[in-house]
Amino acid sequence: MTKILIVEARFYDNIADHLLKGAKARLDEADVAYDVVTVPGALEIPAVIKFAKDKYDGFVALGCVIRGETYHFEVVSNESARGLVDLSITYDLAIGNGILTVENEEQAMIRAKKWDKGGFAANACLELLAVKEGLATRYPVLRSAEDGR
């Protein structure tokens, strides 16, 4: 059975509640097993995914970064996204990115609740897993140019 790890940053609890609710609902709908790990903020999400990369089939990253008065917004937004992309490419991981990067709490609530970005991230993870599985099934033995075949 497919097993997913949801890694959620709870810096903004009210937003995190909606993101997590959406992700769980989508995974329940797909009849997929999952665990949830909570971290303080979005920068910690990639590290936890790396720690767990051999124990789960896919990952859902949930969090929210709201622009403030300092450069910190750019650092957290860019580095958390870069970390997720690096992990997915380096380790062939299926990661649904549900880390919101917004100007204010109102935008975050619209995306978390009305637009169900938690469910969207869970669905992205499931779709990546399907593509990965489809490639493995269609091309069970991938050959490289180095193999000379």
Active site residues: 72
Residue at token pair 């997590």:
20
Positive/negative CA dihedral, 29, 115, 84, 90: positive
Residue from 98, 124, 123 nearest 15 by CA: 98
Rounded to 10 degrees, the C-alpha dihedral 40/44/45/48 comes to -110
